[in-house]
Amino acid sequence: MSKIAIIGGGIIGVVTAYELAKLGEEVILFEKNYFGSGSTFRCATGIRAQFTDEANIRLMKHSVERWEKLEEELESDIVFRQTGYLFLAASEEEVEAFKANIKLQNKFGVPTRLIDMDEAKEIVPILNTEPFLAGAWNPKDGKANPFKTLFAYLFKAKELGVDAREHTEVIGFEREGDTITAVKFRNNGKVESVKVDAVLNAANAWAPLINEMAGLKWDLVPITAYKHQLVKTEPLEPGQAEPLVCPPSWNDAYIIQDGEDGGIICGAGIEHKAKSLDDYEPTYDFLRGVLDYAVRIAPPLRYAHVVRQWAGFYAKTPDSNPAIGRLLDNFYIAAGFSGHGFMMAPAVGEAMAELISKGRSKVPLDWEWYDPYRFERGELRTSAFQIG
Ligand code: FAD
Protein backbone atom coordinates (compact mmCIF):
# COMPACT_ATOMS: atom_id res chain seq x y z
CA MET A 1 0.00 0.00 0.00
CA SER A 2 1.33 3.46 -0.90
CA LYS A 3 0.43 6.78 0.69
CA ILE A 4 -0.89 9.17 -1.94
CA ALA A 5 -1.62 12.86 -1.44
CA ILE A 6 -4.22 14.60 -3.60
CA ILE A 7 -4.27 18.38 -3.74
CA GLY A 8 -7.68 19.80 -4.58
CA GLY A 9 -11.08 18.74 -3.29
CA GLY A 10 -13.03 19.41 -6.46
CA ILE A 11 -14.69 16.64 -8.42
CA ILE A 12 -11.40 15.43 -9.98
CA GLY A 13 -9.58 15.13 -6.64
CA VAL A 14 -12.53 13.51 -4.88
CA VAL A 15 -13.23 10.95 -7.63
CA THR A 16 -9.54 10.03 -7.85
CA ALA A 17 -9.38 9.64 -4.07
CA TYR A 18 -12.34 7.24 -4.19
CA GLU A 19 -10.88 5.24 -7.08
CA LEU A 20 -7.47 4.97 -5.37
CA ALA A 21 -9.10 3.81 -2.14
CA LYS A 22 -10.99 1.17 -4.15
CA LEU A 23 -7.61 -0.07 -5.33
CA GLY A 24 -6.49 -0.40 -1.71
CA GLU A 25 -4.28 2.71 -1.55
CA GLU A 26 -3.96 5.01 1.46
CA VAL A 27 -5.11 8.50 0.44
CA ILE A 28 -4.87 11.91 2.06
CA LEU A 29 -6.99 14.54 0.28
CA PHE A 30 -6.29 18.24 0.85
CA GLU A 31 -8.79 21.03 0.17
CA LYS A 32 -7.83 24.56 1.16
CA ASN A 33 -11.43 25.77 1.31
CA TYR A 34 -14.50 23.49 1.45
CA PHE A 35 -15.02 20.54 -0.89
CA GLY A 36 -16.46 21.64 -4.25
CA SER A 37 -15.76 25.33 -3.59
CA GLY A 38 -13.55 25.76 -6.69
CA SER A 39 -15.26 25.31 -10.07
CA THR A 40 -17.20 22.16 -9.27
CA PHE A 41 -20.19 23.62 -7.41
CA ARG A 42 -20.41 26.44 -9.98
CA CYS A 43 -20.84 24.27 -13.06
CA ALA A 44 -23.77 23.95 -15.43
CA THR A 45 -24.37 20.21 -14.78
CA GLY A 46 -23.82 19.13 -18.42
CA ILE A 47 -22.40 15.77 -19.53
CA ARG A 48 -21.81 14.97 -23.20
CA ALA A 49 -19.91 12.75 -25.59
CA GLN A 50 -20.56 15.11 -28.51
CA PHE A 51 -16.96 16.25 -29.03
CA THR A 52 -15.23 16.80 -32.37
CA ASP A 53 -12.01 14.77 -31.93
CA GLU A 54 -11.32 11.11 -31.27
CA ALA A 55 -9.61 11.48 -27.87
CA ASN A 56 -12.38 13.45 -26.21
CA ILE A 57 -15.17 11.39 -27.82
CA ARG A 58 -13.64 8.10 -26.62
CA LEU A 59 -12.93 9.43 -23.14
CA MET A 60 -16.45 10.83 -22.78
CA LYS A 61 -18.10 7.69 -24.17
CA HIS A 62 -16.40 5.78 -21.35
CA SER A 63 -17.23 8.49 -18.83
CA VAL A 64 -20.95 8.39 -19.75
CA GLU A 65 -20.86 4.61 -19.26
CA ARG A 66 -19.42 5.23 -15.76
CA TRP A 67 -22.08 7.92 -15.09
CA GLU A 68 -24.79 5.38 -16.01
CA LYS A 69 -23.66 3.08 -13.16
CA LEU A 70 -22.84 5.66 -10.51
CA GLU A 71 -26.15 5.89 -8.67
CA GLU A 72 -26.02 2.16 -8.03
CA GLU A 73 -22.30 2.07 -7.19
CA LEU A 74 -22.40 5.10 -4.88
CA GLU A 75 -25.81 4.15 -3.45
CA SER A 76 -26.98 7.71 -3.86
CA ASP A 77 -29.36 9.74 -6.04
CA ILE A 78 -27.03 12.12 -7.87
CA VAL A 79 -29.86 13.20 -10.22
CA PHE A 80 -28.10 11.82 -13.30
CA ARG A 81 -30.55 12.17 -16.18
CA GLN A 82 -29.90 11.21 -19.83
CA THR A 83 -31.95 14.04 -21.27
CA GLY A 84 -29.59 14.63 -24.21
CA TYR A 85 -27.70 17.51 -25.78
CA LEU A 86 -29.19 19.29 -28.79
CA PHE A 87 -26.81 21.41 -30.87
CA LEU A 88 -28.50 23.68 -33.40
CA ALA A 89 -27.12 24.65 -36.81
CA ALA A 90 -27.95 28.13 -38.11
CA SER A 91 -26.31 27.80 -41.58
CA GLU A 92 -25.70 25.22 -44.32
CA GLU A 93 -21.97 25.22 -43.48
CA GLU A 94 -22.79 24.35 -39.89
CA VAL A 95 -25.08 21.52 -41.01
CA GLU A 96 -22.16 20.09 -43.01
CA ALA A 97 -19.84 20.44 -39.99
CA PHE A 98 -22.45 18.70 -37.79
CA LYS A 99 -22.64 15.82 -40.29
CA ALA A 100 -18.86 15.34 -40.14
CA ASN A 101 -18.88 15.42 -36.31
CA ILE A 102 -21.77 12.94 -36.17
CA LYS A 103 -19.90 10.56 -38.48
CA LEU A 104 -16.87 10.66 -36.18
CA GLN A 105 -18.99 10.23 -33.04
CA ASN A 106 -20.90 7.30 -34.58
CA LYS A 107 -17.56 5.66 -35.50
CA PHE A 108 -16.78 5.41 -31.78
CA GLY A 109 -20.26 4.25 -30.79
CA VAL A 110 -21.83 7.57 -29.78
CA PRO A 111 -25.40 7.50 -31.16
CA THR A 112 -25.73 11.15 -32.27
CA ARG A 113 -27.98 11.82 -35.26
CA LEU A 114 -29.06 14.77 -37.37
CA ILE A 115 -32.68 15.76 -36.72
CA ASP A 116 -35.04 18.26 -38.35
CA MET A 117 -36.63 21.15 -36.51
CA ASP A 118 -40.01 19.40 -36.11
CA GLU A 119 -38.35 16.69 -34.06
CA ALA A 120 -36.31 19.31 -32.20
CA LYS A 121 -39.55 21.08 -31.23
CA GLU A 122 -40.99 17.82 -29.89
CA ILE A 123 -37.92 17.41 -27.68
CA VAL A 124 -37.83 21.07 -26.54
CA PRO A 125 -41.39 22.50 -26.56
CA ILE A 126 -40.29 26.10 -25.87
CA LEU A 127 -37.70 26.10 -28.71
CA ASN A 128 -37.72 28.85 -31.37
CA THR A 129 -37.16 26.72 -34.48
CA GLU A 130 -37.13 29.59 -36.99
CA PRO A 131 -33.41 30.53 -37.00
CA PHE A 132 -32.20 26.93 -37.28
CA LEU A 133 -31.88 24.37 -40.07
CA ALA A 134 -31.09 21.15 -38.19
CA GLY A 135 -29.95 19.72 -34.88
CA ALA A 136 -27.29 17.26 -33.71
CA TRP A 137 -29.06 15.12 -31.11
CA ASN A 138 -27.54 12.59 -28.73
CA PRO A 139 -30.15 11.28 -26.26
CA LYS A 140 -27.41 9.61 -24.15
CA ASP A 141 -25.81 12.92 -23.17
CA GLY A 142 -27.21 14.38 -19.99
CA LYS A 143 -26.76 16.15 -16.70
CA ALA A 144 -26.26 15.49 -12.97
CA ASN A 145 -26.29 17.42 -9.73
CA PRO A 146 -22.68 18.52 -8.97
CA PHE A 147 -23.32 18.90 -5.22
CA LYS A 148 -24.88 15.46 -4.82
CA THR A 149 -22.30 13.83 -7.10
CA LEU A 150 -19.31 15.22 -5.21
CA PHE A 151 -20.78 14.37 -1.81
CA ALA A 152 -21.75 10.85 -2.94
CA TYR A 153 -18.17 10.16 -4.06
CA LEU A 154 -16.73 11.81 -0.92
CA PHE A 155 -18.95 9.79 1.41
CA LYS A 156 -17.88 6.53 -0.23
CA ALA A 157 -14.23 7.62 -0.30
CA LYS A 158 -14.33 8.27 3.46
CA GLU A 159 -16.02 4.91 4.04
CA LEU A 160 -13.06 3.33 2.25
CA GLY A 161 -10.66 5.13 4.59
CA VAL A 162 -9.71 8.31 2.68
CA ASP A 163 -8.37 10.97 5.07
CA ALA A 164 -10.25 13.98 3.62
CA ARG A 165 -9.16 17.33 5.05
CA GLU A 166 -11.07 20.54 4.44
CA HIS A 167 -9.67 24.03 5.15
CA THR A 168 -6.21 22.54 4.83
CA GLU A 169 -3.94 24.26 2.35
CA VAL A 170 -0.91 22.62 0.80
CA ILE A 171 1.95 25.12 1.06
CA GLY A 172 5.01 23.19 -0.14
CA PHE A 173 6.83 19.94 -0.76
CA GLU A 174 10.05 18.21 0.17
CA ARG A 175 11.74 16.87 -2.95
CA GLU A 176 14.74 14.61 -3.47
CA GLY A 177 15.82 14.60 -7.11
CA ASP A 178 12.68 13.96 -9.12
CA THR A 179 10.78 12.46 -6.19
CA ILE A 180 8.41 14.28 -3.86
CA THR A 181 8.98 12.85 -0.39
CA ALA A 182 6.66 14.95 1.79
CA VAL A 183 3.79 17.43 1.59
CA LYS A 184 3.67 20.50 3.82
CA PHE A 185 0.25 21.84 4.75
CA ARG A 186 -1.43 24.40 6.98
CA ASN A 187 -4.66 24.11 8.96
CA ASN A 188 -5.88 26.76 11.39
CA GLY A 189 -2.46 28.42 11.29
CA LYS A 190 -0.68 25.19 12.23
CA VAL A 191 1.95 23.91 9.75
CA GLU A 192 2.59 20.17 9.49
CA SER A 193 4.07 17.76 6.96
CA VAL A 194 3.39 14.20 5.92
CA LYS A 195 5.63 11.67 4.13
CA VAL A 196 4.10 10.47 0.87
CA ASP A 197 4.84 8.04 -1.95
CA ALA A 198 3.00 9.96 -4.68
CA VAL A 199 1.19 13.27 -5.23
CA LEU A 200 -1.62 14.31 -7.59
CA ASN A 201 -2.06 17.96 -8.48
CA ALA A 202 -5.85 18.27 -8.96
CA ALA A 203 -6.00 21.98 -8.20
CA ASN A 204 -7.30 23.01 -11.67
CA ALA A 205 -7.13 26.85 -11.82
CA TRP A 206 -4.56 26.80 -8.98
CA ALA A 207 -2.51 23.97 -10.53
CA PRO A 208 0.35 26.20 -11.81
CA LEU A 209 0.96 27.37 -8.22
CA ILE A 210 1.19 23.76 -7.04
CA ASN A 211 3.60 22.92 -9.88
CA GLU A 212 5.75 25.85 -8.81
CA MET A 213 5.78 24.54 -5.22
CA ALA A 214 7.10 21.26 -6.66
CA GLY A 215 10.01 23.14 -8.24
CA LEU A 216 8.60 23.20 -11.77
CA LYS A 217 8.14 26.29 -13.92
CA TRP A 218 4.72 27.68 -13.12
CA ASP A 219 3.88 27.89 -16.85
CA LEU A 220 5.12 24.38 -17.71
CA VAL A 221 1.41 23.58 -17.81
CA PRO A 222 -0.04 26.98 -18.76
CA ILE A 223 -3.49 27.21 -17.21
CA THR A 224 -5.35 30.51 -17.20
CA ALA A 225 -8.50 31.17 -15.17
CA TYR A 226 -11.37 32.64 -17.21
CA LYS A 227 -14.46 33.78 -15.43
CA HIS A 228 -17.56 32.00 -16.74
CA GLN A 229 -21.02 32.78 -15.47
CA LEU A 230 -24.50 31.36 -15.36
CA VAL A 231 -27.95 32.65 -14.56
CA LYS A 232 -30.88 30.56 -13.40
CA THR A 233 -34.58 31.30 -13.72
CA GLU A 234 -37.42 30.52 -11.40
CA PRO A 235 -38.76 26.95 -11.78
CA LEU A 236 -40.66 26.11 -14.98
CA GLU A 237 -42.78 23.03 -15.48
CA PRO A 238 -40.57 19.97 -16.09
CA GLY A 239 -40.11 18.96 -19.73
CA GLN A 240 -39.73 22.45 -21.26
CA ALA A 241 -35.98 22.31 -22.00
CA GLU A 242 -34.61 19.13 -20.45
CA PRO A 243 -31.64 18.67 -22.84
CA LEU A 244 -28.80 21.14 -23.03
CA VAL A 245 -29.75 23.24 -26.08
CA CYS A 246 -26.99 25.18 -27.82
CA PRO A 247 -26.51 26.95 -31.13
CA PRO A 248 -22.68 27.03 -31.14
CA SER A 249 -22.56 29.90 -33.65
CA TRP A 250 -24.44 32.11 -31.14
CA ASN A 251 -21.37 32.54 -28.97
CA ASP A 252 -21.85 29.03 -27.53
CA ALA A 253 -25.01 30.19 -25.74
CA TYR A 254 -27.00 27.43 -24.06
CA ILE A 255 -29.96 26.65 -21.85
CA ILE A 256 -30.60 23.55 -19.74
CA GLN A 257 -33.41 22.81 -17.31
CA ASP A 258 -32.39 21.77 -13.80
CA GLY A 259 -33.32 18.10 -13.38
CA GLU A 260 -34.76 18.72 -9.90
CA ASP A 261 -36.18 22.19 -9.37
CA GLY A 262 -37.08 22.98 -13.02
CA GLY A 263 -35.21 26.31 -13.20
CA ILE A 264 -33.52 27.06 -16.52
CA ILE A 265 -29.75 27.49 -16.33
CA CYS A 266 -28.45 29.84 -19.06
CA GLY A 267 -24.82 30.12 -20.14
CA ALA A 268 -22.77 31.64 -22.97
CA GLY A 269 -19.19 32.08 -24.08
CA ILE A 270 -19.07 35.63 -22.74
CA GLU A 271 -15.85 35.25 -20.78
CA HIS A 272 -13.49 37.50 -18.84
CA LYS A 273 -9.94 36.74 -17.83
CA ALA A 274 -10.17 36.44 -14.02
CA LYS A 275 -8.49 39.38 -12.27
CA SER A 276 -7.34 37.03 -9.52
CA LEU A 277 -8.05 33.52 -8.28
CA ASP A 278 -10.84 34.82 -6.07
CA ASP A 279 -12.52 37.00 -8.70
CA TYR A 280 -16.05 35.56 -8.56
CA GLU A 281 -17.86 38.86 -9.13
CA PRO A 282 -20.82 38.40 -11.55
CA THR A 283 -20.99 41.04 -14.31
CA TYR A 284 -23.88 42.97 -15.83
CA ASP A 285 -22.66 42.53 -19.43
CA PHE A 286 -23.03 38.77 -18.95
CA LEU A 287 -26.52 39.09 -17.50
CA ARG A 288 -27.71 41.17 -20.47
CA GLY A 289 -25.84 39.13 -23.07
CA VAL A 290 -26.88 35.68 -21.89
CA LEU A 291 -30.54 36.61 -21.51
CA ASP A 292 -30.58 38.09 -25.01
CA TYR A 293 -29.43 34.71 -26.37
CA ALA A 294 -31.70 32.69 -24.05
CA VAL A 295 -34.92 34.41 -25.10
CA ARG A 296 -33.98 34.02 -28.76
CA ILE A 297 -33.43 30.27 -28.23
CA ALA A 298 -36.64 29.90 -26.17
CA PRO A 299 -38.93 32.97 -26.38
CA PRO A 300 -41.18 32.04 -23.39
CA LEU A 301 -38.15 32.63 -21.16
CA ARG A 302 -38.92 36.35 -21.63
CA TYR A 303 -41.56 35.88 -18.91
CA ALA A 304 -39.41 33.91 -16.46
CA HIS A 305 -37.76 35.69 -13.53
CA VAL A 306 -34.04 35.32 -13.00
CA VAL A 307 -33.41 34.20 -9.44
CA ARG A 308 -29.66 33.74 -9.41
CA GLN A 309 -26.42 34.68 -11.19
CA TRP A 310 -23.00 33.32 -10.29
CA ALA A 311 -19.44 32.99 -11.59
CA GLY A 312 -16.69 30.38 -11.55
CA PHE A 313 -13.55 29.52 -13.51
CA TYR A 314 -12.91 27.73 -16.73
CA ALA A 315 -9.29 26.73 -16.04
CA LYS A 316 -8.09 26.86 -19.64
CA THR A 317 -5.03 25.45 -21.37
CA PRO A 318 -3.95 26.89 -24.74
CA ASP A 319 -5.73 24.06 -26.64
CA SER A 320 -8.67 23.72 -24.20
CA ASN A 321 -7.73 20.09 -23.50
CA PRO A 322 -6.77 19.13 -19.94
CA ALA A 323 -3.26 18.16 -18.84
CA ILE A 324 -3.36 14.59 -17.53
CA GLY A 325 -0.29 12.52 -16.70
CA ARG A 326 3.03 12.39 -14.89
CA LEU A 327 5.23 15.45 -14.35
CA LEU A 328 7.99 13.97 -12.13
CA ASP A 329 8.78 10.47 -10.86
CA ASN A 330 5.86 10.40 -8.42
CA PHE A 331 4.16 13.75 -9.13
CA TYR A 332 1.07 13.69 -11.35
CA ILE A 333 -1.37 16.25 -12.71
CA ALA A 334 -5.03 16.21 -13.83
CA ALA A 335 -5.95 19.85 -14.35
CA GLY A 336 -6.86 22.53 -16.88
CA PHE A 337 -10.24 21.05 -17.72
CA SER A 338 -11.27 24.11 -19.74
CA GLY A 339 -14.96 23.72 -18.90
CA HIS A 340 -15.27 19.91 -19.07
CA GLY A 341 -14.02 18.60 -15.73
CA PHE A 342 -17.36 17.63 -14.24
CA MET A 343 -18.41 15.41 -17.14
CA MET A 344 -14.92 13.87 -17.48
CA ALA A 345 -14.35 13.20 -13.79
CA PRO A 346 -15.63 9.59 -13.55
CA ALA A 347 -13.32 8.48 -16.37
CA VAL A 348 -10.34 10.66 -15.49
CA GLY A 349 -10.46 9.74 -11.78
CA GLU A 350 -10.53 6.06 -12.65
CA ALA A 351 -7.67 6.39 -15.16
CA MET A 352 -5.52 8.54 -12.86
CA ALA A 353 -5.97 6.13 -9.94
CA GLU A 354 -4.96 3.17 -12.10
CA LEU A 355 -1.94 5.04 -13.47
CA ILE A 356 -0.72 6.04 -9.99
CA SER A 357 -1.42 2.66 -8.40
CA LYS A 358 -0.53 0.25 -11.22
CA GLY A 359 1.43 2.30 -13.75
CA ARG A 360 -1.15 1.65 -16.48
CA SER A 361 -4.89 1.97 -17.07
CA LYS A 362 -7.62 0.15 -18.96
CA VAL A 363 -9.59 3.39 -19.43
CA PRO A 364 -9.56 4.56 -23.07
CA LEU A 365 -7.71 7.75 -22.20
CA ASP A 366 -5.20 8.86 -24.83
CA TRP A 367 -2.25 9.75 -22.57
CA GLU A 368 -0.31 11.24 -25.43
CA TRP A 369 -3.16 13.60 -26.38
CA TYR A 370 -3.41 14.95 -22.82
CA ASP A 371 0.38 14.82 -22.12
CA PRO A 372 1.17 17.71 -19.73
CA TYR A 373 4.57 18.26 -21.41
CA ARG A 374 2.98 18.99 -24.81
CA PHE A 375 2.91 22.76 -24.20
CA GLU A 376 6.65 22.88 -23.50
CA ARG A 377 7.21 21.00 -26.77
CA GLY A 378 4.88 23.42 -28.59
CA GLU A 379 2.59 20.55 -29.65
CA LEU A 380 -0.92 21.87 -29.22
CA ARG A 381 -3.87 19.60 -29.98
CA THR A 382 -6.89 20.69 -31.98
CA SER A 383 -8.96 22.79 -29.63
CA ALA A 384 -11.56 20.80 -27.69
CA PHE A 385 -15.15 21.77 -28.52
CA GLN A 386 -16.10 24.02 -25.60
CA ILE A 387 -19.35 24.78 -23.75
CA GLY A 388 -20.79 23.08 -20.70
P1 FAD B 1 -12.06 22.50 -8.88
O2 FAD B 1 -13.47 22.14 -8.63
O3 FAD B 1 -11.77 23.93 -9.18
O4 FAD B 1 -11.22 22.05 -7.60
C5 FAD B 1 -9.89 22.43 -7.38
C6 FAD B 1 -9.76 22.63 -5.88
O7 FAD B 1 -8.38 22.80 -5.52
C8 FAD B 1 -10.46 23.88 -5.37
O9 FAD B 1 -11.55 23.49 -4.53
C10 FAD B 1 -9.38 24.64 -4.61
O11 FAD B 1 -9.85 25.27 -3.45
C12 FAD B 1 -8.36 23.53 -4.32
N13 FAD B 1 -7.01 24.02 -4.06
C14 FAD B 1 -6.33 24.95 -4.78
N15 FAD B 1 -5.12 25.17 -4.24
C16 FAD B 1 -5.03 24.36 -3.15
C17 FAD B 1 -4.01 24.14 -2.17
N18 FAD B 1 -2.84 24.81 -2.20
N19 FAD B 1 -4.25 23.24 -1.19
C20 FAD B 1 -5.43 22.56 -1.13
N21 FAD B 1 -6.42 22.75 -2.03
C22 FAD B 1 -6.23 23.63 -3.03
N23 FAD B 1 -17.95 21.14 -16.63
C24 FAD B 1 -18.70 20.15 -17.14
O25 FAD B 1 -18.23 19.03 -17.28
N26 FAD B 1 -20.00 20.39 -17.53
C27 FAD B 1 -20.57 21.61 -17.43
O28 FAD B 1 -21.74 21.79 -17.77
C29 FAD B 1 -19.77 22.67 -16.91
N30 FAD B 1 -20.28 23.92 -16.82
C31 FAD B 1 -19.54 24.90 -16.24
C32 FAD B 1 -20.11 26.17 -16.08
C33 FAD B 1 -19.41 27.17 -15.42
C34 FAD B 1 -20.03 28.53 -15.25
C35 FAD B 1 -18.12 26.89 -14.90
C36 FAD B 1 -17.36 27.95 -14.14
C37 FAD B 1 -17.53 25.64 -15.08
C38 FAD B 1 -18.23 24.65 -15.76
N39 FAD B 1 -17.69 23.38 -15.96
C40 FAD B 1 -18.45 22.38 -16.50
C41 FAD B 1 -16.29 23.10 -15.60
C42 FAD B 1 -16.21 22.31 -14.31
O43 FAD B 1 -16.87 23.00 -13.27
C44 FAD B 1 -14.73 22.11 -13.95
O45 FAD B 1 -13.99 21.66 -15.08
C46 FAD B 1 -14.58 21.09 -12.84
O47 FAD B 1 -15.39 21.40 -11.75
C48 FAD B 1 -13.13 21.03 -12.43
O49 FAD B 1 -13.01 20.22 -11.30
P50 FAD B 1 -11.63 20.16 -10.56
O51 FAD B 1 -11.77 19.20 -9.45
O52 FAD B 1 -10.53 19.94 -11.55
O53 FAD B 1 -11.39 21.66 -10.03
For 237-288, give the DSSP string.
-TTSS-SEEE-TTTTT-EEEE-TTT-EEEEE-S--EE-SSTT-----HHHHH
- From residue 221, alpha-carbon distances to 9, 119, 224 in Å are 20, 44, 10
Is the Cβ atom of 246 under 6 angstroms away from ligand 1?
Answer: no
The alpha carbon of 43 and the centre of ligand 1 are apart by a number of angstroms equal to: 8
Residue 261: the pLDDT is 93
CA distance 109 to 241: 26
- Nearest CA residue ID for atom 6, ligand 1: 8
CA distance 153 to 73: 10
Is the Cβ atom of 202 under 6 angstroms away from ligand 1?
Answer: yes
Task: Give the helix, strand, coil percentages of the chain, each rounded to 5.
Answer: 30, 30, 40
Is the Cβ atom of 207 under 6 angstroms away from ligand 1?
Answer: no
CA distance 184 to 195: 9
Is the Cβ atom of 342 under 6 angstroms away from ligand 1?
Answer: yes
Give the H/E segment covering residue 194. Answer: strand 190-195
The fraction of the chain above a pLDDT of 70, given in percent, is: 99
The alpha carbon of 359 and the centre of ligand 1 are apart by a number of angstroms equal to: 26
Is the Cβ atom of 46 under 6 angstroms away from ligand 1?
Answer: yes
Pick the residue with more confidence: 63 or 1? 63
What angle (nearest 5°) sits at the alpha carbon of residue 365, between those of residues 65 and 222?
Answer: 120
Radius of gyration of the CA atoms of the chain, in A: 21
Judge whether 226 and 274 are in contact, CB under 8 Å.
Answer: yes
**Nearest ligand 1 atom, CA 205:** 3
Ligand 1 pocket test: pick from 40, 230, 313, 343 the residue with the most ligand atoms within 8 Å of its Cβ.
40
Is the Cβ atom of 341 under 6 angstroms away from ligand 1?
Answer: yes
Is the Cβ atom of 349 under 6 angstroms away from ligand 1?
Answer: no
Is the Cβ atom of 381 under 6 angstroms away from ligand 1?
Answer: no
Is the Cβ atom of 228 under 6 angstroms away from ligand 1?
Answer: yes
Is the Cβ atom of 33 under 6 angstroms away from ligand 1?
Answer: yes
Cβ neighbourhood burial of 188 (10 Å; 0-12, 13-18, 19+): exposed
**Nearest ligand 1 atom, CA 310:** 34
Is the Cβ atom of 343 under 6 angstroms away from ligand 1?
Answer: yes
Give 103's strand partners: none
CB atoms within 10 A of CB 308: 12
Residue 59: the pLDDT is 98
Q: How confident is the model at residue 385 (pLDDT cuts 50, 70, 90)?
A: confident
Residue 112 DSSP SS3: coil
CB atoms within 10 A of CB 327: 20
Ligand 1 pocket test: pick from 206, 226, 255 the residue with the most ligand atoms within 8 Å of its Cβ.
206
- From residue 176, alpha-carbon distances to 136, 210, 328, 329, 331 in Å are 52, 17, 11, 10, 12
CA distance 118 to 85: 16
Q: Give the pairing type, strands 263-267 and 254-257.
A: antiparallel
Is the Cβ atom of 312 under 6 angstroms away from ligand 1?
Answer: yes
Residue 317 DSSP SS3: coil
What angle (nearest 5°) sits at the alpha carbon of residue 178, between those of residues 174 and 183?
Answer: 25
Residue 1: the pLDDT is 80
Tell me what the pLDDT averaged over the chain comes to.
Answer: 97
Is the Cβ atom of 49 under 6 angstroms away from ligand 1?
Answer: no
* pLDDT above 80 for 386: no
User: How do residues 170-216 score in pLDDT, each as one tens digit?
Assistant: 999 999 999 999 999 999 999 999 999 999 999 999 999 999 999 99
Domains of the chain: 1-82+142-223+320-388 (3.50.50.60), 85-139+224-316 (3.30.9.10)
Ligand 1 pocket test: pick from 45, 270, 290, 342 the residue with the most ligand atoms within 8 Å of its Cβ.
342
- Give me the mean pLDDT over the 58-78 stretch: 98
How far does CA 368 lie from the centroid of its chain? 20
User: How do residues 277-296 score in pLDDT, each as one tens digit?
Assistant: 999 999 999 999 999 999 99
Is the Cβ atom of 206 under 6 angstroms away from ligand 1?
Answer: yes
* pLDDT above 60 for 388: no
The alpha carbon of 118 and the centre of ligand 1 are apart by a number of angstroms equal to: 37
Give 232's strand partners: 265, 308
Is the Cβ atom of 169 under 6 angstroms away from ligand 1?
Answer: yes
CA distance 132 to 135: 8
